[in-house]
Amino acid sequence: MRPLVKIHEPLLRFAYDQAVEDPRDGLTLFGPLDAGKPYGIRAGVIGTPAGIEKFTRWVDCVQRPTRTPEPEVSRPPFPGFESAYRIPWTSAPVITRTIDEEELYRRLVLDDRHQRVFNTVGLYAEAILAARDEDVKPDVWFVIIPDAVKKYCRPHSVVEPEVRQQARRLFSSPAQAKQFFSEPSLFAEQNVAAEPYFYKEHFRDQLKAKLLTHRIATQVLQEGTLENIATSSDDPREKNRIRRQSEIAWNICTAAFYKSGGRPWKVAGIREGVCYIGLVYKKDDRGGDNRSACCGAQMFLDSGDGVVFKGAVGPWYNTETKNFHLSRTAARELAALALKSYKERQTDNRAPREVFLHGQAAFDREEWRGFEEAIGSETTIVGVTIRDNAGLKLFRKTDNPVLRGIAYIRDDRNAFLWTRGWTPRLQTYPGRETPNPLGIQISQGTAPIETVLNDILALTKLNYNTCIFGDGKPITLKFAHAVGEVLTAGPLDGVPPLPFMYYI
């Protein structure tokens, strides 16, 4: 058996060209990478009167330091928004839209789940879109929802019989309504009535899908999350919520900074001219074909920027192997779109030196030929398969589990990497069970396996939607499910390559 190796913890770069391991340390000590950009958080807020009041009170609260009553290394204190991000954020939004609470609850209690979610999303989306004519344009919309929206506007959610209201139905079943997606009716009333059934029954995904083509960034927050600003309590449940106050402040504030146009940090020492593309697949059976799937790609540049592309919908799902594979033509078109977007983001329109394609299934021959044809011979292209692996466990004689960053390299093309584990900086393992590794395989092309492992560990630290030490998966695959859900949440045609922030 080969010896285990330790991959050094990647450093993150912040203002003044300073680098540290933990993003919270870097923001506290030096400030974000894009110091002074944007000038401030121009927020739009939409919610019920109670929700808007809770939001403004919460923003006021995070202007001050927040810490846990009993200091924890793994939950560092939040120093206050302007102290961490070096820009102001006033509690007064640049634009506010109020949701009528009675109308909201009338829509929330419909017994038809498709109509319930579609009508509730419409209440918020229509108000946001109507605000486009205003002189002031917010950088990010904070969508404040009562906890009941999350409860009733998710797949398989059910409204209690005592409050349930009957919806108007023109179809015998959702399946009958979905037939109008590919074969519209001659009667406009039927087409309008069928539209709610073309969308997934998930409030967040459907809202983001409807706003994608308008390039509107959103951050959905529950009112219950914003209520967590108490300083002390005798209630055990409330005490646990108070322990998470600094964590919530770090996460929401970092997402607000990123979605307003700033980069909080980037990986230090990453090789110039390298980009990473994670393939995203999601089954889309609205046309009645259980093999039909939507393919997307998440591209991340050495600058830390992320872009999402939507590829073609086609029979990419193999019902026997349970894997997704593009046709040669579809792979070529998707890779060409990614390459074009990469060049547009370079001052000299140059192509990348290296492209790493990350997937959860090995690339087949025809699929890979399509990628090679689009990217060309001047760029090195490497295909990497990344999967969770529970078949290999490492145990230590101490009480602490395996270190994060430990790797077992089987040969030049295969390795196991523990991206979850004991983290010295945090003095803890943020998990409950014995950590499992990621199985890493270079399935196409050639590259040093150590380089691939270093890159994957670094890519676990680019999640701008939260502010944590590191994720268990690289960002190329971390949000694959979430991005796929948005891409298939409704009829989306002609969606251009968009920054990652519109999907998360």
Q: Does this model's pTM top 0.75? A: yes
User: What's phi and psi for 332, nearest 5 deg?
Assistant: -65, -45
Q: Are 270 and 457 in contact (CB under 8 A)?
A: no
Write down the pLDDT at residue 382.
96
Q: What is the 3-state secondary structure (H, E, C) of 2-16?
A: CCCEECCCCCEECHH
pLDDT digits (tens, 9 = 90+) for 265-297: 999 988 889 999 999 888 876 656 667 788 888
pLDDT tens per residue across span 323-380:
888 899 999 999 999 999 999 888 888 999 999 999 998 898 999 999 999 998 889 9
Strand order in the sheet with 218-222: 95-98, 43-47, 140-145, 218-222
The neighbour count for residue 91, using CB atoms within 10 Å, is 15
pLDDT in tens, 90-128: 999 999 999 999 999 999 999 999 999 999 999 999 999
pLDDT of residue 475: 93
Tell me what the mean pLDDT of segment 387-413 comes to. Answer: 89
Question: Residue 248, Cβ neighbours under 10 Å: how many?
Answer: 19
Highest-confidence segment of 68-82, 175-189, 230-244, 358-372: 358-372
Q: Which ranges constitute the DSSP H helices of 326-448?
A: 328-344, 365-375
**Res 244: pLDDT:** 83
Q: Looking at residue 496, what is its pLDDT? A: 83
> Mean of the per-residue pLDDT values for the chain?
89
Confidence (pLDDT) at 455 = 95
* pLDDT tens readout for residues 399-411: 788 999 999 999 9
Contact 309, 268 (CB under 8 A): no
Does 1 or 436 have the greater pLDDT score?
A: 436
For residue 453, the model assigns a pLDDT of: 97
